[in-house]
Every structure is written in structure tokens, then in C-alpha cells.
Amino acid sequence: MTQALLRHVESKSLRQKVPIIVAGMTVKVSQKIREGEKERIQNFEGLVLATNGGVGAAGTFTVRKIFDGIGVEKVFPLHGKNIVKIEILKKAKVRRSKLYYMRDLRGKAARMSETHIRSVVHDEEADKKAEAKAKQEEEVVLAKEEVVEEQAESTDKASEPKVEEAVVEADAKQEESKKAVE
């Protein structure tokens, strides 16, 4: 009974799109920080030392960065509600699942052979905004195409100013939709 209840809660609270994070990746985690009544987004970029708990509700990953010569580590929950997005910047060739030995290395000794990757996983709200923006841009393009077709069909000199006005209106709508999405 309790296992079924746990699975049900996990299925409801887990994010749908979660990147596959492994040790050796350099990631940039954008996290919501609440200070009093204000809320802001803070980025934390560093090397993934370890992953724990798998990909379920208990899944976490440890990220380490050097700030002013001091090593700073944070443990992020994989499905945390405060995590806005996770960007995978680089992937290094490693042969271990836990890179705790990196804590003792400095400078050139801490280098790894890396390949640059750029993959981003947003939460669902950001994906919806991007889809809405793409749809609005597509509508504007279609409106411009219709105006151009009308212009090609009509050879009257009197109708040309109306066509130009329609193009200007379509451009204005596109700018308004960009401002609304942002």
C-alpha cells in the first residue's frame, strides 16, 4: 500500500524532462533564490562530482566550482521545484562514477579531456513560452506572405499604400508579441 502511494506521489511531482547527468559533466544550474519577498534566479556553474539516488524523486547531483580560490560544492535535487533549468556545457571523459579526488587537485592537474556540448533542459513553463512565441512568429510570417500575395495579385497603384500599411501592422504585431512573451 505505501509503495503504491509513493509511486503515485512520485509520478505527480517529478519533472517530465530531466537531463541525463553523469560525473564529469560541466553544468550550469539556474536556481530560484528567495530573499524576503523578492525572488531571483542564481546560476551555479561547475563540475558534477557525483550523482546519487538515481533519477527518481530522491535523485541528487553534486556540483563543485572554485570561487576565489575556495572550492564550493552544492547538492541539487534532480526534481527540485526551485531549479529553473539545467544546462549541460561540457562533458569530460572520466572512468569513475564519483570524482571526489578532484577536491585535492588544483590548476593543470585538475584538467580533463572535454568535449563541448550545449543542451538545455527547461521546466515546462519555459517550454510553453517558447512554443507560444514560435506560434506567434509563424502567424506573423503567414500574415506577411498573405500581404505579399495580395500585392502580387493587385497591380493597381492605389492599392499599394494599403499593402504597405498591412506590412507595417504585421511588423508591429510581431514586436508586441515578442514583448508579451518576454
What pLDDT digit, counting tens, does each position of 47-100 carry? 999 998 877 778 899 999 989 888 999 999 988 888 889 999 988 888 888 988
Q: What is the pLDDT of residues 106-139, one digit of tens each?
A: 888 877 877 766 655 555 566 677 677 777 877 8
State the average pLDDT for the chain.
Answer: 79
Instruction: Assess whether 21 and 97 both reside in one domain.
Output: yes
Domain identity same for 107 and 19: yes
Torsion (CA) 77, 78, 84, 85 in degrees, nearest 10: 140
Domain coverage including residue 137: 128-181
- pTM of the complete model: 0.58
Question: Does residue 157 share a domain with residue 104?
Answer: no
Q: Predicted confidence band at 27 (pLDDT cuts at 50, 70, 90)?
A: very high
Nearest to residue 48, comparing CAs of 94, 115, 104? 94
Task: Count how many domains the chain has.
Answer: 2
